[in-house]
Amino acid sequence: MPEVMLHEPLLHIVLFEPEIPQNAGNVGRTCVAVGAKLWLVRPLGFRLDQRQLRRAGMDYWDHLDCEIVPNWASLQQRLPGSPMWLMTKTADRPYTSAKFALGDVLVFGSESRGLPPSLLQAHEDRCLRIPMRPEARSLNLACSVAVAAYEARRQMDRTADSPFLQ
């Protein structure tokens, strides 16, 4: 996938070991819309040339800044010092309480397993949840990314030096 961003990404969206190509495609579309770079952490549950991935991203792939890394350690090397927010249903802190800023990293786990407990424990103070009723086990990954990414954008839009084009 080409890296075509003409500016620094406003956000970084990380999918840790994603499994479903349609979700990754839809997240890619959201990344283009909000000015975020998409990071995919291997192993992936799909091939990047899968038709469903491209179909879900539609014609947005030409505009998507995407990088694939072999593991979490590689991601940390590529984003040194970038503030990371880990999204998990087990967190106590709601995503709306975070103060998002330019260059923040939003990390989402795989569809079936979420993020590993060791990773959540290592970043305990940076874990966020999207509140939902107990009857709902979880939200779709692509929906969760959209909710958090647009909250980050909303907060950034409220600053006087908003980088977003209208």
73-77-82-84 Cα dihedral, nearest 10 degrees: -10
Is the link from the previous residue into 117 a cis peptide, with omega within 30 of 0? Answer: no
Centre a 10 Å sphere on the Cβ of residue 69 and count the other Cβ atoms it contains.
17
CA atoms within 13 A on the CB side of 3: 9
CATH topology of domain 11-157: Alpha/beta knot (3.40.1280)
d(CA 49, CA 138): 28
The helix/strand/coil state of 143 is helix
Q: Give the Å distances, CA to CA, from 142 to 29, 116, 122.
A: 10, 19, 25
Looking at residue 60, its pLDDT comes to: 75
Looking at residue 5, its pLDDT comes to: 45
Looking at residue 161, its pLDDT comes to: 55
Looking at residue 55, its pLDDT comes to: 64
Looking at residue 22, its pLDDT comes to: 87
Q: Each residue's pLDDT tens digit in the chain (166 positions)?
A: 444 445 689 999 999 999 998 899 899 999 999 999 999 999 999 887 756 666 655 567 788 899 999 999 999 999 999 999 999 999 999 999 999 999 999 999 999 999 999 999 999 999 999 999 989 988 999 999 999 999 999 998 876 455 554 4
Burial class (CB in 10 A: 0-12, 13-18, 19+), 100: buried
Encode pLDDT of 74-120 as tens digits. Answer: 999 999 999 999 999 999 999 999 999 999 999 999 999 999 999 99
Looking at residue 143, its pLDDT comes to: 97
The candidate with the shortest Cα–Cα distance to 129, out of 104, 97, 84, 94, is: 94
d(CA 18, CA 9): 21
